[in-house]
A and B are shown apart, each in its own frame.
Chain A
Amino acid sequence: MPETQTTNFGTISFAPESVFEFPNGLPGFEERRRFLPVQNPRTAPIVFLQSLEEPSLCFTTLPVWVVDPQYRLRVMEQDLEVLELTADRQPRIGDEILCLAVLSIRNTGTTANLLAPVVVNLKNYKAVQAVSAESGYSHRHLLFPQEAVAC
């Protein structure tokens, strides 16, 4: 089983078929094409996306339905092509695709990028960060709005 060096998790071994392949990389990281999903039962449902090409590059993500149970996915035609999915309808989350929101930290707290979720075709593990401009979702969706914390 191949191994990879990582800054955050040390050396991890992985099954080659579990690698997510981003044919176009991610916006801002266009040259980073291969990511390994890393999960730990103690931090579930969080999924870490560890780059296989840059040991220090690791995104922390959550399934979009954990962030917003009503989330409606809107993948543009050109992204569906990258995923090798049919362009005549939207793919089904959980069934055909995995849909993850990338987390980051701001002064206001943890935010999730719902404007551009990472979408992975579960059949071939092709992946794309699908910028869905018409969805109306924010790239800085607050994970825990203030009122929820105050109770």
Chain B
Amino acid sequence: MLIMSRRQGETILIGSEIEIVIAHIGRSRVRVGIRAPRQMAVVALEVKLVSEENRAAALAPPAAVLQTILAQLLPDPHTFHTLTDEGSVRQDAGTKT
């Protein structure tokens, strides 16, 4: 990675179209101005991570998420089966009434 030192108000050029201005240097954060072609998306890295994470989350249907949680809460296969059986018995009884 290229590391450059810049002072407040100074600019960095990337190619001929992207301009990065160090607008303000605070104690723990830096404000950066970015000039780039309109069609170029400029987002904080975290927004991209969240966007990818949302797409992954959307691919997991609720039933699959519940099943994974249940399997993690009850890792012992015996416990898991006993509970599932009881649940289905109760459900059958419910439909008869």
**Residues on A close to B: CB < 8 A?**
7-8, 26-29, 43, 46, 48, 57-60, 102-106, 109-110, 113, 115-116, 129, 131, 133-134, 139-140, 143-144, 149
Residues of B within 8 A of A (CB): 29, 44, 46-66, 68-69, 72-73, 75
B53 touches A105 (CB 8 A): no
Tell me the smallest distance from the CB of A129 to a CB of chain B, in Å. 7
CB atoms of A139 and B60 under 8 A apart: no
Nearest CB in chain B: distance from A37 CB, A:
13
Residues of chain A within 8 A (CB-CB) of B72 are: 109-110, 143-144, 149
Please indicate the chain A residues that have their CB under 8 angstroms from the CB of B55 in the complex.
28
Lowest 9 A-B CB distances belong to which pairs? Answer: A28-B51, A104-B57, A27-B51, A28-B54, A60-B65, A116-B50, A27-B50, A144-B72, A133-B46
Residue in A60, A109, A113 whose CB lies within 8 Å of B66? A60
A51 CA / B46 CA spacing, docked (Å): 23
Contact A46 B66, beta carbon cutoff 8 Å: yes
Q: Are B53 and A59 in contact (CB under 8 A)?
A: no
Which residues of A are found within 8 Å of B46, using beta-carbon distances? 115-116, 131, 133, 139
CB-contact partner of A102 in B29, B47, B53, B59, under 8 A = B53
Question: Roughly how many angstroms separate A136 CA and B39 CA in the complex, as a whole number?
Answer: 31
Whether A59 and B68, one on each chain, are in contact in the complex, defined by CB atoms closer than 8 angstroms, is no
- From the candidates B47, B50, B59, name the one contacting A113 in the complex (CB within 8 A): B50
Supposing A58-B61, A59-B58 touch, asked if A149 and B75 sit within 8 A by C-beta, the answer is: yes
29 pairs from A and B in contact (CB 8 Å cutoff): A8-B62, A27-B47, A27-B51, A28-B54, A28-B58, A29-B54, A29-B58, A48-B62, A59-B58, A60-B57, A102-B57, A103-B57, A103-B60, A103-B65, A104-B57, A104-B59, A104-B65, A113-B54, A115-B46, A115-B50, A116-B50, A129-B50, A129-B54, A131-B44, A139-B46, A139-B49, A139-B50, A143-B72, A149-B72
